[in-house]
């Protein structure tokens, strides 16, 4: 069998962690090869080595059968290896063409030849079914299209091997389906793809083979067609995994949160949430289902105090909180797992322990008379990190930035649940996490409910909403379409409601 | 540790480049440097003068460093020095009180004056998102013209229109004890206040909830907001403390090293504070060492140009080059990584390599400082 890229016995160590320990990955020509592993298993490190951003301490890389040294990403590009990063590297106020040309400008006498480049981009777009407008500005196009721009960028540089790092983490279900078609087109045209992911469904849908790594070691490479999802999950986590969380029926108690005809304007001064009414009671999980950008952010920001309420009321345990500051709301018992962990959830340049106290540092025993109580903070943080299995190089004193995305997320969730809020707002709590962590976080959310607290779960993953929630409120265009019991509905019904069809009209 | 190596390398490269410059202009670099360092360190008096020259720089360096650490770029320290100094001078010339009280009131006036001058850009940033670089530079010129007007109008000197009246000795930071210790140097109590300020700033930054808050806002204002920190208040407070330190720098300059103010001068120490903060890696103790080093260059350069043909501008060039190397600390850090890697590689198999710094580790704060004008 012909391999286009081989990474043999790769080892890479960072201070305190062995990120890769004797990993072997062999990519066949014309296949989609999934690289599956938990958060922090070493997937990103391995791909960074292949793309020349890190140098392996040990091991051999072969491209087209020839042993090569990949000193930096430029070398990788020359070898025909392109990478689509999880966080896109695009200039927001440049057009698609300008972004793609960047670093590879063509032209004469110092003048850019945008036309030729745009034509080439149009050709590539048509050939692979990417549907990208070369003259659109990045800030005006959807996340899904931005990702396709990144893909064209690699094709424009004649990449034969594409590495996609968690490509679906930022996409809506429809966009995911589109991406899968595109990947198949690419392979049909002779490209080879490495797909970094921990979503088993997607591997099943598109990949030919799958290499599983766990804690820096290769566990094995399997044929996807003949391997069950359950089997792959076990290989990845090292134990058997439940896909569906076990939970008792909810026993709703008093009303914790009551929204009445809440209207909120978004950053563009448009009404993002319109006359939205909802009750969340103690001991229940209410899921908010909807396509991204249909009022979820405005809803969450209004409850937490990040956005001003235009009209309507927010009652928390019977008291109006619409006029309170963010800190006061937190003190009253509102916990918030934010949607964007890097933007809102963490101070990336702070250590983990500093991040663990960001909402309550000013209270005793975290501080007394304005002085931080460092030994208590250390103990408190270490206990959260331990109980939520946050893996980091140096424990509580690790810089938050140095953690993998999944571990950052677990740290935030630990911080919020530890404060035992009467209302926990969890926005996309498992975005970008592996099945093992997802199962764990779902269990913690249900545990939190079972302690008699209210949970408001906002998620774009329908599976998650259906699995974890007791009741589901569906939003479309900032309006409440309907509320259904999770046990009495299905994906189809919710899907139609998400598209704006009222509950009464949905045939079940 | 690594940061210190970077700063020391910056100094080393700066000195090397200065040597090349001297050689290229036909002077003997060894002789030049001998006199430069002798000029700053030859005897107790010169050492005292070096420290005294560095004292205002400790304040201005701290002012810039404090702002840096909290995500702000206070480029208006010169104006804060001027206005703080003017407030202190006004008190010193008009208040009749026992010396300890007089000095304390002057110090408070200097701090508050500087703070007021920085609160304006802080407020504009918090409320209207006006970039503090632009507004604090503008404040520099407002301070410049305020002094230009106020000194001749209210504090006119006995002989010259362009200088304020000489402060009575009791209203300056002169201290015969420390001056005597350094062979009659003009070193003064400003040093005590500076050391105290270094300790207080380090304490605030590392031990207090205020420091924690301000740094959190500086690193990531979205997260700070999410966590319920009053972001706008923090920005204003941060600028106030930074400006207050700048004001103290004015006190150290105009009522310590000098005993009056001149009109028509924007003090260069305000801008050198940026360089000091960079070289000191924005750490209080680093700022103090960097300030004294700059003091050495400034006080030595006169001696060098007196004893040799080397023009004093060479010393200024050396300072500028050091700033370049300190400001491009990313390059220096790469160099350090590379050196460590190579040495490890020679000794044994690369068992434990240092990883390249993760992207974004050296924060963007240091960007765009290269075009600061030095007066």
Cβ <8 Å between B212 and A347: no
Q: Does B361 touch chain A (CB under 8 A)?
A: yes
pLDDT of residue B2: 73
Q: How far is residue A91 from each of residues A102, B101, B104, B221, measured CA to CA in Å?
A: 9, 58, 53, 22
Q: Is B216 in Cβ contact with A367 (below 8 Å)?
A: no
Asked if residue A275 and residue A209 are part of one domain, the reply reads no
Q: What percent of chain B has pLDDT over 70?
A: 91
Burial of A365 (0-12, 13-18, 19+ CB in 10 A): exposed
Chain A, nearest residue to B69 by Cα: A349
Q: What is the CATH number of the domain that holds A498?
A: 3.40.50.300
CB contact B69 to A (< 8 Å):
no
Give the residue from B165, B162, B166, B137 showing the smallest Cα distance to B148.
Answer: B162
Q: Do A54 and B222 touch (CB under 8 A)?
A: no
Sequential DSSP letters for B266-303:
--HHHHHHHHHHHHTTT-HHHHHHHHHHHHHHHHHHHH
Element (H, E) at A261: strand A255-265
| Cβ neighbours of residue A174 closer than 8 Å, sequence gap 6 or more | none
Closest by Cα among A179, A208, A180 to A192: A208
Name all domains of chain B by residue range, CATH numbers in brackets.
2-366 (1.10.3470)
B352 and A13 within 8 Å at the Cβ level: the answer is yes
User: Looking at residues B314-338, what average pLDDT do you find?
Assistant: 76
User: Which residues, other chains included, contact A314 with Cβ-Cβ below 8 Å and sequence gap of 6+?
Assistant: A257, A258, A259, A262, A302, A303, A320, A321, A322
Chain centroid offset of residue A489 CA: 26
Same domain? For A76 and A104 the reply is yes
The answer on A222 and A135 residing in a single domain is: yes
Helix, strand, coil tally for chain A in percent (to 5): 35, 30, 35
| Total residue count of chain A as it appears in this document | 508
Q: Does B94 touch chain A if contact means CB atoms closer than 8 Å?
A: no
B205/B103 Cα distance (integer angstroms): 27
How far is it, in rounded angstroms, from Cα B36 to Cα A168?
Answer: 62
Task: Give yes or no for B239 touching A (CB within 8 A).
Answer: no
Residue B38, chain A, CB below 8 Å: the answer is no
Structural domain range at position A267: 242-333+421-508
| The predicted structure's pLDDT at residue B227 | 95
Interface touch B223/A345, C-beta < 8 Å = yes
- For residues A230 and A173, state if they share a domain: yes
Q: Does A363 touch chain B (CB under 8 A)?
A: no
Per-residue model confidence (pLDDT) at position B346: 55
Q: Chain B closest CA to A15's CA: distance in Å?
A: 7
Assess contact for B164 and B155: CB atoms under 8 A.
Answer: yes
Q: How many CB pairs under 8 A join A and B?
A: 87
Q: Does B209 touch chain A (CB under 8 A)?
A: yes
Whether the CB of B358 is below 8 Å from some CB of chain A: the reply is yes
Tell me the shortest Cα–Cα distance from B341 to chain A, in angstroms: 12
Whether residue A306 and residue B208 make contact (CB cut-off 8 A), yes or no, is no
Q: Is A448 on the interface with B (CB under 8 A)?
A: no
- CA distances in angstroms from B221 to A269, A344, A345, listed in the order given: 22, 8, 11
Closest CA of chain A from B217, distance in Å: 9
Do A123 and A204 touch, CB atoms closer than 8 A? no
Instruction: Nearest by CB to A343, from B222, B351, B360: name it.
Output: B222
Sequence-ordered list of residues with C-beta below 8 angstroms from that of A403, at least 6 positions apart, any chain: A40, A352, A390, A391, A392, A411
Residue with tokens 């909830």: B209
Strands of the sheet containing A66-68, edge to edge, are A17-28, A3-14, A58-63, A66-68
The answer, for B362 touching chain A at a CB cutoff of 8 Å, is: no
Task: Return the ∠ at Cα A102 (arms to A100 and A104), rounded to 5°.
Answer: 90
For residue B349, the chain A residue with the least C-alpha distance is: A57
Shared-domain flag, residues A407 and A458: no
Task: Tell me, yes or no, whether A340 lies in a domain.
Answer: no
Please report the sign of the dihedral spanned by the C-alpha atoms of residue A400, residue A402, residue A405, residue A411. Answer: negative
Are both A63 and A154 inside the same structural domain?
yes
Q: How do strand A111-112 and strand A161-165 relate by DSSP bridges?
A: unpaired
Chain A 5-44, CB below 8 Å of chain B: which residues? 13-15
Residue A179 is assigned to a structural domain of this protein: yes
Q: Which of A388, A415, A442 is the last residue of a domain?
A: A415
Structure tokens at B225: 């907001």
Closest chain B residue to A374, measured at CA: B207
Three-class SS state of B370: coil
Chain A nearest C-alpha distance from B136 (Å): 26
Query: What are the CA-CA distances from residue A192 to residues A3, A297, B2 (Å)?
Result: 10, 38, 42
- Report yes or no: A401 at the B interface, CB cutoff 8 Å: yes
Q: Helices B77-94 and B44-69, interaxial angle, to 10°?
A: 120
Nearest chain B CA: its distance from A58 CA (Å): 9
Q: Could you give the 3-state DSSP secondary structure of residue A446?
A: helix
Within a domain: residue A306? yes
* Closest CA–CA distance from residue B71 to any residue of chain A (Å): 12
Confirm or reject contact between B233 and chain A (CB < 8 A): no
DSSP assigned state of A397 = G
A366/A433 same-domain check? no
Chain A residues within an 8 Å CB radius of B228: 305, 325-330, 359
- By DSSP bridging, strand A334-337 and strand A423-427 are parallel
pLDDT value, residue B288: 96
How much is the mean pLDDT over chain B? 87
Nearest residue, CB atoms, B226 vs list A55, A344, A362? A344
Ramachandran assignment for A321, one of left (phi > 0), alpha (psi -120 to 50 degrees), beta (any other): alpha
Specify if A338 maps to a domain.
Answer: no
Give φ, ψ of A487 to 5 degrees.
-75, -15
Whether residue A165 sits in one domain with residue A232: yes
Q: How far, in Å, CA of A183 to CA of A419, rounded?
A: 43
Helix (H, G, I), strand (E, B) or coil at B184: coil
Interface touch B226/A371, C-beta < 8 Å: no
Q: Hey, is the C-beta of B208 within 8 angstroms of any chain A C-beta?
A: yes
Contact B263, B48 (CB under 8 A): no
* Token pair recorded at residue B197: 């300020």
Answer whether residue A398 is part of any domain.
yes
B216, B350, B355 member nearest A358 (Cβ): B216
pLDDT for position B172 = 95
Report yes or no: B361 and A402 within 8 Å, Cβ to Cβ. no
Q: Does B334 touch chain A (CB under 8 A)?
A: no
Q: Which residues contact A15 (CB under 8 A, 6 or more apart)?
A: A393, A394, B352, B354, B355
- Report the domain count for chain A: 3
Q: Among A306, A367, A402, whose Cβ lies nearest the Cβ of B209? A: A367
Q: Of A383, A415, A447, which residue constitutes the final position of a domain?
A: A415
Q: Where is the domain boundary, A415, A434, A461?
A: A415
Say if CB A437 and CB A38 are below 8 A apart.
yes
Contacts of A414 (CB under 8 A, 6+ apart): A356, A384, A385, A387, A388, A390
A358 interface with B at CB cutoff 8 Å: yes
* A148 shares a domain with A134: yes
Q: Which residues contact A111 (CB under 8 A, 6 or more apart)?
A: none
Q: In what order do the strands lie in the sheet with A271-281?
A: A271-281, A255-265, A309-316, A319-320
Q: Which residue of B has its CA nearest to A19?
A: B355
Question: A493: which 2 tokens?
Answer: 């019904």
User: CA–CA separation, B131 vs B368, rounded Å?
Assistant: 14
Taking the C-alpha atoms of residue A70 and residue A52, their distance in angstroms, rounded to an integer, is 5
Kindly state whether residue A98 falls inside one of the protein's structural domains.
yes
Q: Which residues does chain A have within 8 Å of residue B207's beta carbon, measured at their own beta carbons?
A: 371-372
pLDDT (tens digit, 9 = 90+) per residue, B131-183?
A: 999 999 999 999 999 999 999 999 988 888 889 999 999 999 999 999 999 99
The token pair at A408 is: 């950052």
Give, to the nearest 10 degrees, the angle between helix B313-327 and helix B2-24. Answer: 150
Asked whether residue A435 is domain-assigned, the answer is yes
The verdict on A221 and A261 lying in the same domain is no
- The per-residue pLDDT for range B225-248, each reduced to its tens digit, is 999 999 999 999 999 999 999 999
pTM for the whole structure: 0.77
Contact status of B204 with chain A (Cβ, < 8 Å): no
Dihedral sign for Cα atoms in the order A403, A406, A411, A412? positive
Q: Do residues A295 and A379 share a domain?
A: no
Could you say which residues of chain A have pLDDT below 70? 1, 170, 242-243, 506-508
Output DSSP code: residue A342. I
Tell me the per-residue pLDDT of B188-221, one tens digit each, with 9 for 90 and over: 999 999 999 999 999 999 999 999 999 999 999 9
Strands A58-63 and A66-68: antiparallel
Angle between helices A143-156 and A114-128 (to 10 degrees): 110
B65, two tokens: 């460093």
With respect to residue A113, please indicate whether it lies within any of the assigned structural domains: yes
- Residues in chain B with CB shorter than 8 Å from the CB of A346 are 220, 223
Rg (CA), chain A: 24
Residues of A in contact with B225 (CB under 8 A): 306, 326, 344
pLDDT band with cut points at 50, 70 and 90 for residue B93: very high
Say whether B220 and A358 touch across the interface (CB within 8 A).
Answer: no
B219, B228, B352 member nearest A347 (Cβ)? B219
Residue B25 to residue B357: CA distance in whole angstroms: 39
Q: How many helices (H) and strands (E) does chain A have?
A: 16, 24
Q: Does A248 share its domain with A390? A: no
In contact, A207 and A36? CB cutoff 8 Å: no
pLDDT digits (tens, 9 = 90+) for A187-211: 999 999 999 987 888 899 999 999 9
Q: Three-class SS string for A35-89?
A: EEECCCCCHHHHHHHHCCCCCCCEEEEEECCEEECCCCHHHHHHCCEEEECCCCC
Taking an 8 Å cut-off on Cβ atoms, the answer to whether B352 and A401 are in contact is no
Q: What phi and psi, each to the nearest 5 degrees, are found at residue A499?
A: -80, 0
Residue A111 tokens read as 């003048």
């Amino acid at each position: 069998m012909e391999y286009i890229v081989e990474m043999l016995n790769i080892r890479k160590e960072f201070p305190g962690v062995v990120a890769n320990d004797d990993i072997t990955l062999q990519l066949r020509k014309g296949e989609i090869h999934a690289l599956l592993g938990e958060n922090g298993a070493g997937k990103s490190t391995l791909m960074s080595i292949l793309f020349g951003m890190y140098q392996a301490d040990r091991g051999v890389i072969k491209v087209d059968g020839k042993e090569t040294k990949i000193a930096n990403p430029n070398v990788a590009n020359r070898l025909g290896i392109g990478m689509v990063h999880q966080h896109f590297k695009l200039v927001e106020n440049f057009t698609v063409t300008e972004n793609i040309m960047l670093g590879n400008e063509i032209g004469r006498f110092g003048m850019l030849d945008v036309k030729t480049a745009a034509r080439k981009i149009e050709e590539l777009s048509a050939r692979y079914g990417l549907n990208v407008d070369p003259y659109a500005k990045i800030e005006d196009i959807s996340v899904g299209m931005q990702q396709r721009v990144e893909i064209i960028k690699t094709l424009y540089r004649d990449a034969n091997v594409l590495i996609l790092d968690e490509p679906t983490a930022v996409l809506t279900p429809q966009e995911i389906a589109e991406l899968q078609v595109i990947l198949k087109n690419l392979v049909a045209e002779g490209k080879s793809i490495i797909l970094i992911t921990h979503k088993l469904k997607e591997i099943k849908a598109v990949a030919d083979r799958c290499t599983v790594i766990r804690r820096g070691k290769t566990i094995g490479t399997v044929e996807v067609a003949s391997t069950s999802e359950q089997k792959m999950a076990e290989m990845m986590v090292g134990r058997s995994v439940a896909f569906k969380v076990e939970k008792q029926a909810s026993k709703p108690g008093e009303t914790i949160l009551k929204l009445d005809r809440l209207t909120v304007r978004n950053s563009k001064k448009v009404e993002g949430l319109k006359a939205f009414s909802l009750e969340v009671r103690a001991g229940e999980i209410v899921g908010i289902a909807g396509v991204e950008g249909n009022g979820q952010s405005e809803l969450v920001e209004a409850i937490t105090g990040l956005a001003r309420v235009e009209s309507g009321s927010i009652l928390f345990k019977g008291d109006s909180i619409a006029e309170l500051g963010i800190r006061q709301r937190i003190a009253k018992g509102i916990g918030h797992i934010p949607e964007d962990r890097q933007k809102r959830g963490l101070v990336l340049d702070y250590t983990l322990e500093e991040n663990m106290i960001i909402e309550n540092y000013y209270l005793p025993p975290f501080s007394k008379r304005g002085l931080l109580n460092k030994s208590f903070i250390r103990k408190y943080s270490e206990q959260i990190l331990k109980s939520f299995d946050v893996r980091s190089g140096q424990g509580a004193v690790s810089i938050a930035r140095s953690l993998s995305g999944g571990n950052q997320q677990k740290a935030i969730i630990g911080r919020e649940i530890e404060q035992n809020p009467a209302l926990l707002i969890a926005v996309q709590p498992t975005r970008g996490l592996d099945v093992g962590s997802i199962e764990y976080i779902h269990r913690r959310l249900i545990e939190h409910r079972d302690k008699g607290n209210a949970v408001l779960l906002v998620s774009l993953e329908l599976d998650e909403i259906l699995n974890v929630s007791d009741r589901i409120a569906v939003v479309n265009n900032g309006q409440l379409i309907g509320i259904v019991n999770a046990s009495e509905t299905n994906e189809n019904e919710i899907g139609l409601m998400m598209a704006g069809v009222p509950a009464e009209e949905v045939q079940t | 540790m690594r940061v210190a190596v970077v700063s020391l390398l910056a100094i080393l490269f700066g000195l090397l480049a200065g040597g090349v410059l001297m050689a290229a202009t036909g002077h003997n670099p060894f002789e030049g440097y001998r006199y430069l360092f002798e000029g700053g360190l030859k005897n107790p008096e010169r050492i005292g003068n070096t420290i005294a020259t560095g004292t205002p720089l400790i304040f201005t360096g701290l002012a810039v460093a404090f702002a840096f650490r909290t995500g702000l770029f206070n480029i208006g320290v010169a104006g804060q020095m001027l206005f703080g100094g003017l407030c202190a001078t006004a008190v010193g010339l008009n208040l009749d009180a026992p010396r300890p009280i007089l000095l304390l009131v002057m110090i408070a006036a200097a701090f508050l004056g500087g703070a007021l001058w920085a609160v304006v850009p802080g407020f504009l940033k918090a409320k209207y998102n006006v970039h503090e670089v632009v507004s604090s530079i503008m404040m520099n010129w407002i301070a410049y013209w305020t002094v230009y007007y106020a000194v001749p109008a209210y504090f006119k000197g006995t002989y010259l229109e362009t200088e304020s009246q000489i402060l009575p000795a009791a209203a300056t930071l002169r201290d015969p004890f420390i001056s005597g210790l350094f062979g009659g140097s003009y070193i003064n109590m400003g040093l005590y206040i500076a050391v105290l300020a270094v300790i207080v700033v380090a304490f605030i930054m590392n031990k207090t909830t205020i420091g924690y808050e301000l740094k959190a806002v500086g690193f990531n204002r979205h997260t700070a907001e999410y966590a319920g920190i009053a972001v706008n208040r923090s920005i204003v407070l941060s600028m106030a403390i930074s400006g207050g330190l700048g004001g103290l720098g004015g006190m150290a300059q105009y009522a310590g090293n000098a005993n009056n103010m001149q009109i028509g001068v924007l003090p260069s120490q305000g801008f050198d504070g940026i360089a000091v903060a960079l070289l000191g890696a924005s750490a209080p103790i680093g700022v103090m060492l960097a300030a004294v080093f700059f003091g050495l260059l400034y006080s030595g350069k006169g001696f060098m140009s007196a004893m040799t043909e080397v023009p004093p501008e060479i010393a200024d060039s050396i300072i500028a080059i050091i700033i370049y190397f300190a400001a491009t600390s990313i390059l220096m850090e790469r160099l350090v990584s590379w050196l460590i890697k190579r040495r490890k590689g020679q000794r044994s198999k690369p068992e434990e390599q240092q990883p390249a710094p993760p992207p974004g580790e050296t924060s963007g704060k240091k960007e765009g400082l290269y075009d600061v004008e030095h007066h």
